[in-house]
Amino acid sequence: MPTIIPIPAFADNYIWLMREGNAAAVVDAGDAAPVIDYLEREHLDLTAIICTHHHGDHVGGNRALLQRWQVPVYGPARETIPGRTEALREGDEIVIDGIGLKLSVLDIPGHTAGHIAFVGRSGAAPLLFCGDTLFAMGCGRLFEGTPSDMVTSLDKLAALPGNTLVYCGHEYTLANLRFALAVEPGNAKLRERETMARAQRTRGEPTLPTTIADERETNPFLRTAETTIRAAASAHADRELADRVGVFAEIRAWKNAFR
Ligand code: ZN
Ligand code: FE
């Protein structure tokens, strides 16, 4: 089963690299240089490029990688992805050459209109690559979708097995924690995660992957059905919010303005 390695890029992106033997595949190769450095240092051959959505910090390295390795580029059918060879939508399954990993595709619009996620299983653990839709204790901004789209997409991800390892596109954990604690100051599990995440960042380690179980317990954007979250969102809105989409929309707007 493949090893999954974070390659930091730009200020806070992670390019996730899966390796098995001499083969490697990358998820969301926003920048080619750190990927090429890693592949050369480790004497690995690239076998696939996998893309969750069209933003430059997730696909910006595709062309340069394709100049060195002619490999399939898997990406969402409904978006423009540089070099894409395989257009994917929900229900599609792919097998990554040389890695021995099968991934199935979910449509998770909201951050972008065609955003997709990849679900697989490495050994005992299910895994998820979710780009900029679900973050540790946060979620992506709604650039091309409605609150209702995003709630539906996040529900799909929250329904995955609790032990699913969640590989997100950015290291946003500490900032997300600050906001999550403002919404839900009484959540003891959030305090626990804060201690752990601070220690990890002090050591220079990623706080990812997270798990679906941890996100269900701490991520305000997955907890819109909880009384505590609805009360906090209603207080912030200064009116009673009745449904989950309304609660989600309020905390998403609250987070956008949060400093
Ligand atoms: Zn993005
Ligand atoms: Fe991004």
Give me the pLDDT at residue 1, please.
84
pLDDT of residue 250 exceeding 90, the answer is yes
pLDDT of residue 123 exceeding 90, the answer is no
Give the tens place of pLDDT for each residue, 81-103: 999 999 999 999 999 989 989 99
How far, in Å, is the centroid of ligand 1 from the Cα of 48?
20
Exactly one of 31, 57, 107, 149 is catalytic; name it: 57
**Confidence category of residue 259, pLDDT binned at 50, 70, 90:** confident
Global pTM value = 0.98
Report the C-alpha gap between 198 and 98 in whole angstroms.
36
Nearest 5°: phi and psi at 58? Answer: -120, -20
How far, in Å, is the centroid of ligand 2 from the Cα of 13?
7
31 among known catalytic residues: no
Proximal ligand: closest to the CA of 114:
1
pLDDT of residue 122 exceeding 90, the answer is no
Report the C-alpha gap between 97 and 107 in whole angstroms.
23
CA distances from 92 to 74, 75, 96, 153, 177 (A): 11, 11, 13, 17, 34
Report the C-alpha gap between 126 and 213 in whole angstroms.
12
State the residue for tokens 């009484």: 186
- Percent of the chain whose pLDDT exceeds 90: 96
97 among known catalytic residues: no
53 among known catalytic residues: yes
Exactly one of 53, 54, 107, 115 is catalytic; name it: 53
Exactly one of 28, 31, 54, 58 is catalytic; name it: 58
170 among known catalytic residues: yes
What average pLDDT does range 217-235 have in this prediction?
98
β-strands 45-50, 93-96: how paired? unpaired
Give the tens place of pLDDT for each residue, 204-215: 999 999 999 999
